[in-house]
Structure 1
Amino acid sequence: MDDLLAARSQMALSLGFHIIFACIGMIMPFFMAISHYIYLKTGKEAYKKLTVAWSKGVAIFFVTGAVSGTMLSFELGLLWPKFMEEAGPIFGMPFSLEGTAFFIEAIALGFFLYGWGKFHPWFHWFTGVVVGVSGLASGILVVAANAWMNAPTGFDIIDGVYTNIDPIAAMFNEAWFSQALHMTLAAFVATGFAVGGIHAWMIRKGKSKDIHIPALRISLTIGAVAAILMPLSGHHAAKDVAHRQPAKLAAMEAHFHTEERAALIIGGIPDEATQTVNYAIKIPGGLSYLIHGDFVTEVKGLEDIPQDEHPPVAITHYGFQIMVGIGMLLMLVGLIWLFGLWKKAPYLHAPWFLALLALLSPLGFIAVEAGWVVTEVGRQPWILYGIMRTADAVTPMPGIVYSFWLYVAVYLSLSLIVGALLAKQVKALDKETEQLSPKTS
């Protein structure tokens, strides 16, 4: 493993872990706030206990997200010094604002965790809402910085020097809205189905239904609504990519040849040597329609893009197919769930359906990881699209491979610790609620 591959692998590892912690940390406060609201309106003790339990989970992921996010910020400077030297003054604003949002989130979370019985009930609830809003703002701001790497703007390059810097234009670049919308919905889907799947499994095991049934309804309903909206945001994002990054789109679709009536490819194994896709389902004109709104308009293929600007096609294509496939599956299950709620269908609490929800619980995060693979690998060979290559930005210092293996050990240890803490919280919740009487639940 050379230093470039080691540096890229370390960033991929760090981002892959952090995105899970960040998504849960962004979305769980909203579940917590909804449960708290119901408790304040109804006085049902079960919702208070659920709110307290979820708040402990929020605290766990806030800490782990803060640690992993801090590590990522250091890695940007240590692994990619050339990039940070040139780009730091341009896209630093969203990072600084993210720090402010993080500061507000930390204060609000402290108020919420230790505010039971000390604040007015509705002010206490409001602090929980602030945790969610500020956490969501943090995520959107970080995504805006990443979007700038895909759509660099807000500066001019004169004689190799970055001048006329406009941080506002850089932050609100052409890609920020589509990426932020898609990522936000993905976080709601992944967290909603993951949390819902855990509670569904606990219901199937006969654990504290007074707690787990409301938890399932809150989390999965939100996840289902977000899953139904995902194809709309995905379509908007794909059209944006087609306009700005035709090489990425071509890699996503394994679209090698520029042609009219371009087919939409489902599945398949790309062969870059022969520029063909084997074992794929092809819908004639489908790609042309999705990108241009008609079945005829030409779509640019990889053959018309310089070879040294091609992203890795197979990895990008597989990541895209996994993301879309999981997204469609979760949308279908989400529709079934919402229909069942509407009709008060008994299958919602049937053992087979609860087991299905439990099996689906990790899929949202697998789709999130696949989506980030598409975003980051599909941008290669550029770290700053069309301006700076990744190979030119990596640190000249040797020995990055040792740093990579150290980070592997750190993140695996952190994940095991988080998993153990969450398991402990679930067991504690069941123990606390076993004695809940029908009158209080």
Structure 2
Amino acid sequence: MDDFLAARSQMALSLGFHIIFSCIGMVMPFFMAVSHYLYLKTNKIVYRNITNAWSKGVAIFFATGAVSGTVLSFELGLLWPKFMLHAGPIFGMPFSLEGTAFFIEAIALGFFLYGWDRFNKWFHWFTGVVVGVSGLLSGILVVAANAWMNSPTGFDYIDGKYLNIDPIAAMFNDAWFSQALHMCIAAFAATGFAVAGVHSLMILKKQSIDFHTKSFKIAAIFGTIAAVLQPLSGDISAKFVAKNQPAKLAAMEAHFETEKSASLIIGGIPNIEEKKVDYAIKIPGVLSFMAHGDFNAKVTGLNDIPKENQPPVAITHYAFQIMVGIGMLLMAISLAYFIALWKKKNWLQQKWLLQLFVLATPLGFIAVEAGWTVTEVGRQPWIIKGIMRTADAVTPMPGIAYSFYLFSAVYVSLSIIVAFMLYRQIKMVPKLYDLP
């Protein structure tokens, strides 16, 4: 493994783990706040128990998210020094504000965890809400920084120099809204289905039925609503990509030839040499409509993009197909759940519905990982689109491969520890809260 590949792999590994920790850490506080609110309104002890249980999960993911996020910050400077030399002064503001949001989140979480029966009950609830809001803001700010890499603004690039820097314009770049919206909804969908899946498994095992049933309902409502909204944010993102990153769209769809009334491709295996997609289902005109709102619109193909500027087609295409396929599956489960809530109440007692949620437990996060693969691999070979190539930003320091192996071991160990801690928390629910 050469150093360039090792540096990219290490960033991918770090981001791949951090995105899971951060998604759960910024979404679960909202679940916690809802259960806490229900406890304050109904005075049912089961909701307090749910809040306590979830707050422990929030604390675990806050800690692991903080550690993995700090590692990412150092890696940006250590692995990509040329990138940070020029980009740091431009897009540093969202990172600075994210640090502020992180400190607010840490303080609020401390107040919440140790504030039971010490603060006014509504102030205590409010501190839990602050944990969620500040965590969500942290995620939005980090995504804004990443969006800048896809749509660099807020400076003039003249003769290889970065001049007239405007950090506000850089933070609110053209891509920040579509990326932040899509990421936030994805985080709610992935976390909602993951949490609901765990509780549905406990219901099927007939453990602490009342506790897990109420927990399941809160998480499932969040997750299913987000899953239904996800295609809308996906459409906004796709239209932005079509307009501003045609090479990425071409790779996502394995679209080799520029043409009008372009077909949407479902599945298939890209054949790079023959510039076609084998075994794919094609729907004429739909790609043109989804990209530009017109069935006859022209969609740029890879043939009009210089080969040295083309992203890796196969990886981007497969990742995009996985993301979309899982998104459609989660939306179908969500619609079934809505029908159960409104029309078919007896479905809520059926094992098959709970089993669907159990099967869907990891799917949201697989889709999140696939989506970030599309975002990052689809931008290649650029680290700053159209300005700086990734290969030009990597550190000249040798031995990065050994660093990659070391960090791989650290993250795998961290994930095992987190999984063990969560498993222990779930198994201890009846003991901790004396539930049947």
TM-score normalised to structure 2 length: 0.99
Cα shift at 1:347: 1.9
Alignment-derived partner of residue 125 in structure 2: 125
Match of 2:393 in 1: 393
Q: Please say which of residues 374-383 and 291-300 is displaced more in the overlay.
A: 291-300
1:352 Cα deviation from its structure 2 partner = 2.2
Query: Secondary structure of the equivalent of 2:318?
Result: helix
Are residue 96 (structure 1) and residue 111 (structure 2) matched?
A: no
- Matched with 2:407 is 407
Give the whole-Å Cα distance in 2 for the aligned partners of 1:307 and 1:143: 28
Contact 2:269 2:280 in 1 (8 A): yes
Shift of 1:344: 5.3
Q: Aligned pair 1:237/2:237, yes or no?
A: yes
How many angstroms apart in 2 are the aligned matches of 1:200 and 1:170?
Answer: 44
- Deviation string, structure 1 residues 208-245 (Cα, Å, up to 9, x no partner): 01110010000011100010000000001000001100
State how far apart, in whole Å, the 1-side matches of 2:317 and 2:282 are.
14
CA contact (8 A) 1:251 1:378 kept: yes
8 Å contact from structure 2 (residues 256, 301) kept in 1: yes
Q: Distance in 2 between the 1:344 and 1:284 partners?
A: 37
SS of corresponding position for 2:295? coil
Equivalent residue for 1:322? 322
Question: What residue number does 1:115 align with?
Answer: 115
What is aligned with 1:11? 11
Deviations 1:161-185 (A, max 9, x none): 1110000000000000000000000
Aligned to 1:143: 143
Within 1, Cα distance between the matches of 2:432 and 2:421? 16
Cα deviation, residue 433, structure 1: 3.6
Deviation of the 1:353 alpha carbon: 1.9
**What residue number does 1:383 align with?**
383
Aligned AA (1:69): G
Kindly provide the amino acid, as one letter, of the partner of residue 424 in structure 1. Answer: R
Cα deviation 1:328-347 (Å, max 9, x = unaligned): 00011011112211235222
- Measured in 2, the distance between the counterparts of 1:340 and 1:83 equals 51
Query: Could you tell me whether the CA contact under 8 Å between 2:242 and 2:292 is conserved in 1?
Result: no
Specify every segment of 5 or more residues in structure 2 that has no aligned partner in the other structure, as ranges: none
Q: Residue type matched to 1:57 in 2? A: G
- Structure 1 residues 353 and 423, CA, compared in 2 at 3 Å: closer, same or farther? same
2:182 and 2:127 map into 1 onto residues whose CA distance is: 26
| Secondary structure of the corresponding residue to residue 254 of structure 1 | coil
2: CA distance between counterparts of 1:152 and 1:294? Answer: 27
| 3-state SS of 1:265 partner | strand
Instruction: Tell me the residue number matched to 2:267.
Output: 267
Displacement of 1:297? 1.3
- 1:47 maps to a residue whose letter is Y
Between the aligned partners of 2:248 and 2:430, the Cα distance in structure 1 is 47
Tell me the distance in 2 between the aligned counterparts of 1:256 and 1:66.
42
> What is the aligned partner in structure 2 of residue 21 from structure 1?
21
Structure 2 CA distance for aligned equivalents of residues 349 and 190 of structure 1: 23
Corresponding residue number in structure 1 for 2:277: 277
Q: Is the 8 A contact 2:82 2:395 kept in 1?
A: yes
Aligned to 2:343: 343
**Which residue of the partner structure matches residue 85 of structure 2?**
85
Q: Secondary structure at the match of 1:270?
A: strand
Which AA in structure 1 matches 2:81?
Answer: P
Which structure 1 residue ranges, 4+ long, deviate > 4 Å from structure 2? none
Aligned to 2:224: 224
Q: How far has the Cα of 1:435 moved from its partner?
A: 4.1
Using the TM superposition, name which of 177-186 and 282-291 deviates more: 282-291
How far apart, in 2, do the equivalents of 1:90 and 1:6 lie? 27
TM-aligned CA distance change 1:297 to 1:45, over 3 Å = same
Give distance in 1, aligned partners of 2:363 and 2:157: 43
Find the counterpart in structure 2 of residue 297 from structure 1.
Answer: 297
SS in 1 for 2:348: helix
Deviations 1:317-364 (A, max 9, x none): 000000000000001101111221123522223222212211110000
Instruction: Output the CA distance in 2 between the equivalents of 1:149 and 1:299.
Output: 23
Moved more, 230-239 or 351-360: 351-360
Asked whether the 8 Å contact 1:208–1:433 carries over to 2, the reply is: no
Matched with 1:205 is 205
For 2:157 and 2:435, locate their aligned partners in 1 and report how far apart those are by CA, in whole Å.
Answer: 68
Shift of 1:284: 0.6
Q: Confirm or deny: 8 A CA contact 2:239 2:290 kept in the other structure.
A: yes
Count how many residue pairs are aligned between Structure 1 and Structure 2: 436
Contact in 1 for aligned 2:333/2:356 (Cα 8 Å): no
Residue of structure 2 equivalent to 1:357:
357
Unaligned runs of 5+ in 1: 437-441
Alpha-carbon separation, structure 1, partners of 2:349 and 2:415: 31
Deviates more, 1:161-170 or 1:291-300: 291-300
What SS does the corresponding residue of 2:260 show, helix, strand or coil?
A: coil
Provide the rounded CA distance (Å) in 1 between the counterparts of 2:296 and 2:324.
24
Deviations 1:123-164 (A, max 9, x none): 000000000000000000000000000000000122221110
Q: What is the alpha-carbon distance in structure 2 between the residues aligned to residue 65 and residue 250 of structure 1?
A: 34
| Aligned-CA RMSD value | 0.8
Offset from partner CA, 1:94-139 (integer Å, 9 cap, x none): 0000000000000000000000000000000000000000000000
* Corresponding position of 1:33: 33
Alignment-derived partner of residue 439 in structure 1: none
Q: Is the 8 A contact 2:268 2:280 kept in 1?
A: yes
User: In structure 1, what is the Cα distance between the partners aligned to 2:323 and 2:317?
Assistant: 10
